[in-house]
Structure 1
Amino acid sequence: MRGVARVGISGWTYPPWRGVFYPKGLPQRSELGYAAGRLATIEINGSFYSLQHPSSYRSWHDQTPDDFVFAVKGGRFITHMKKLRGAETALANFVASGVLALRGKLGPLLWQLPPTLGFDAERLADFFARLPRSTAEAAWLARHHDARVDGRALTDTVEDRPLRHALEVRHASFVTPEFPALLREHHIGLVVADTAGRWPFLLDVTADFVYVRLHGDVELYASGYSEAALDVWAGRVRAWTDAGRDVYVYFDNDMKVRAPFDAMSLAERLTR
Structure 2
Amino acid sequence: MRSGTIRTGIGGWTFEPWDETFYPADLPKKRQLEYAASKLTTIEVNGTFYRSQKPETFGAWAEQVPDGFVFSLKAPRYAVNRKVLAEGGESIQRFVDSGIAELGEKLGPLLWQFAATKQFDPDDFAAFLKLLPAKAGAIPLRHVVEPRHQSFACPEFVDLCRKAGAAIVMAESDDYPQIADVTADFVYLRLQKGDETIPTAYPAQALDRWAERARIWAAGGQPDDLQRADPDHPAPNRPRDVFVYFIRSGKPRAPHAAMALMDRLRDS
Name the TM-score, length of structure 1 as normaliser.
0.86
Off by >4 Å, runs of 4+ in structure 1:
none
User: Percent of aligned positions with the same letter in both sequences?
Assistant: 46
Give deviations 1:133-192, integer Å, cap 9, x for gaps: 12xxx33xxxxxxxxxxxxxxxxxxxx342110011100101111111111011000110
Superposition deviation, residue 84 in structure 1 = 2.1
Give deviations 1:1-56, integer Å, cap 9, x for gaps: 31111111111100111032001121111000000001111111100111111121
Q: Is the Cα–Cα contact under 8 Å of residues 75 and 94 in structure 1 kept in the other structure? A: yes
State how 1:127-138 maps to structure 2 within 5 Å: 127-134=128-135, 138=136
Q: Could you tell me which residue of structure 2 aligns to residue 191 of structure 1? A: 169
Classify the secondary structure of the residue corresponding to 1:19. helix
Q: Could you tell me which residue of structure 1 aligns to residue 206 of structure 2? A: 229
- Please report the RMSD computed on the Cα atoms of aligned residues, expressed in angstroms: 1.7
Classify the secondary structure of the residue corresponding to 1:270. helix
Work out the CA distance in 2 between the residues paired with 1:35 and 1:213. Answer: 18
State how 1:96-135 maps to structure 2 within 5 Å: 96-134=97-135
Count of residues paired in the alignment: 245
State how 1:2-13 maps to structure 2 within 5 Å: 2-13=3-14
Q: Could you tell me which residue of structure 1 aligns to residue 43 of structure 2? A: 42
Q: Is the Cα–Cα contact under 8 Å of residues 19 and 25 in structure 1 kept in the other structure? A: no
Work out the CA distance in 1 between the residues paired with 2:105 and 2:240. Answer: 19
- Say yes or no: does 1:271 pair with 2:266: yes
Work out the CA distance in 1 between the residues paired with 2:139 and 2:48. Answer: 21
Superposition deviation, residue 217 in structure 1 = 5.5
Work out the CA distance in 2 between the residues paired with 1:253 and 1:47. Answer: 17
Gaps of 5+ in 1: 140-159
Classify the secondary structure of the residue corresponding to 2:171. strand
Q: Could you tell me which residue of structure 2 aligns to residue 246 of structure 1? A: 241
Work out the CA distance in 2 between the residues paired with 1:91 and 1:181. Answer: 22
Work out the CA distance in 1 between the residues paired with 2:53 and 2:99. Answer: 7
Work out the CA distance in 2 between the residues paired with 1:15 and 1:218. Answer: 17
Q: Closer, same or farther in 2 for the Cα pair 1:23/1:82, shift >3 Å?
A: farther
Q: Could you tell me which residue of structure 2 aligns to residue 210 of structure 1? A: 187
Work out the CA distance in 1 between the residues paired with 2:131 and 2:16. Answer: 37
Classify the secondary structure of the residue corresponding to 2:112. strand
Superposition deviation, residue 88 in structure 1 = 1.6
Give deviations 1:174-225, integer Å, cap 9, x for gaps: 1111111111011000110111x21101111111110111122679xxx921
Work out the CA distance in 2 between the residues paired with 1:232 and 1:163. Answer: 30
Work out the CA distance in 2 between the residues paired with 1:83 and 1:48. Answer: 18
Superposition deviation, residue 97 in structure 1 = 2.0
Q: Is the Cα–Cα contact under 8 Å of residues 224 and 253 in structure 1 kept in the other structure? A: no
Q: Could you tell me which residue of structure 2 aligns to residue 179 of structure 1? A: 157
